[in-house]
Amino acid sequence: VAKDKDALAQLGEFGFISRVTRRLSSGEDVVLGPGDDAAVVAAPDRRVVACTDVLVDGRHFRRDWSSATDVGHRAAAANLADIAAMGARPTALLVGLSMPDDLPVSWAEELADGLNDEAELAGASVVGGDTVASPVLIIAVTALGDLQGRAPVTRSGAKAGDLLAVAGRLGWAAAGITVLSRGFRSPGALVTAHRRPQVPYAAGPVAAVLGATSMIDVSDGLLADLGHIAEASQVAIDVSTTALRIPVSMRDAGQALGVDPAHWVLSGGDDHALAATFPPDVLLGPDWTVVGRVGSGCGVTVDGQIFEAEAGWDHFKSKRAA
């Protein structure tokens, strides 16, 4: 039987699971990997960080825009970034896969490859999961992480006077979605950024060591996510656009498509950059770029002004393109 034509319906649940788990590699935090009722993962400092993120076919990804491997990378990255945003080191992923009976097994295998490879990039392993038949393809990923003895960096510790800094890319994935939604396939750098975010995983623990007072994964857009920090910390945050780098390919794409690239940078999610606040005397390393300041008050401003645009995605209010 040719791999590509195996339907899940033929392989059965257990045949499918054995086929997929064969492709996974186990890192040193895996005490007991896939194949039993549950996995066992190291939690060296007697605490475990845990989060869950769900991706729905046609809403968070499109199979005509992204390969199965790309989707695996993105699904893993969305979760691993949340772990990093607590200042923790990712250790493990569990995957709840709901999929149509007629999905080619090769698609699921390539999804597993993407999940596995992105987990490896972050130092983590896929340790378990569940597979069910469903009318819609939905990928629910849970990530676990290790705080390495440090306190978690929450959203609520920012203080007036702190610096705001960002690690990773802003607006690239959003620009890539705009490019794809207008029917183009280039610039390749932007399209690839949507397909496989480059998450600065190591910058999360680094920020914690540097004394970050708050941190968040930028998944809904910088302004929207800073809004969560501002609200949780009861502070005001101002972003300086002069500090935000807009790469040439994004500027060109903006001109070609009639979009102000600042909108992508300020409101686009899915690059999974990290945003954090630091005491003003911090010496930031190369991962982190200062892009604003924390003040007293409330809300988020850009160059001292309210930014007039949709600030980010709310999954129920605005159906996104992808």
Told to check if 32 binds a second copy by CB under 8 A, we report yes
* CB nearer a second copy, residue 249 or residue 277: 277
End-to-end C-alpha distance for the chain, whole angstroms: 34
Closest approach of Cβ 69 to a second copy, in Å? 21
* Residue 252 CB-half CA count within 13 A: 8
Q: Restricting to residues 126-185, name those near a second copy by CB under 8 A.
A: 127-136, 138, 140, 142-145, 147, 152, 154-156
Between the alpha carbon of residue 273 and those of residues 7, 48, 142, 169, the distances in Å are 37, 22, 19, 5
CB 119 within 8 Å of CB 90: yes
Q: Restricting to residues 37-66, name those near a second copy by CB under 8 A.
A: 37-56, 59-60
Closest approach of Cβ 89 to a second copy, in Å? 12
| Rounded Cα–Cα distance for residues 284 and 256 (Å) | 36
* CB nearer a second copy, residue 17 or residue 68: 17
Q: Restricting to residues 99-128, name those near a second copy by CB under 8 A.
A: 101, 127-128
Closest approach of Cβ 2 to a second copy, in Å? 19
Piece of the chain touching a second copy by CB under 8 A; list 5-13, 162-170, 205-213, 277-285: 5-13
Told to check if 73 binds a second copy by CB under 8 A, we report no
Closest to 174 (Cα-Cα) out of 312, 80, 79, 57: 312
Told to check if 20 binds a second copy by CB under 8 A, we report no
Told to check if 252 binds a second copy by CB under 8 A, we report no
* CB nearer a second copy, residue 133 or residue 256: 133
Between the alpha carbon of residue 165 and those of residues 11, 72, 96, 145, 243, the distances in Å are 49, 28, 34, 23, 10
| Rounded Cα–Cα distance for residues 260 and 277 (Å) | 27
Q: Restricting to residues 231-250, name those near a second copy by CB under 8 A.
A: 232
Told to check if 203 binds a second copy by CB under 8 A, we report no
| Rounded Cα–Cα distance for residues 58 and 112 (Å) | 19
Collect all residues with Cβ–Cβ distance below 8 Å to 234 and sequence separation of at least 6.
298
* CB nearer a second copy, residue 261 or residue 312: 312
Told to check if 197 binds a second copy by CB under 8 A, we report no
Closest approach of Cβ 227 to a second copy, in Å? 10
Told to check if 28 binds a second copy by CB under 8 A, we report no
Closest approach of Cβ 190 to a second copy, in Å? 25
* CB nearer a second copy, residue 176 or residue 204: 204
Closest approach of Cβ 249 to a second copy, in Å? 29
Closest approach of Cβ 51 to a second copy, in Å? 4
Provide the phi-psi class of 35: left if phi over 0, else alpha when psi is between -120 and 50, else beta: left
Between the alpha carbon of residue 285 and those of residues 165, 233, 243, 244, 292, the distances in Å are 11, 24, 16, 17, 16
Binding mask 76-95 for a second copy (x = CB under 8 A): ------xx-xx-x---x-xx
Cis ω for the linkage preceding 34 (within 30 of 0)? no
* CB nearer a second copy, residue 187 or residue 200: 200
Helix (H, G, I), strand (E, B) or coil at 141: strand
Binding-site size, a second copy (CB under 8 A): 75
| Rounded Cα–Cα distance for residues 3 and 1 (Å) | 6
Closest approach of Cβ 251 to a second copy, in Å? 31
Told to check if 298 binds a second copy by CB under 8 A, we report no
The total of other beta-carbon atoms located within 10 Å of residue 218's CB is: 27
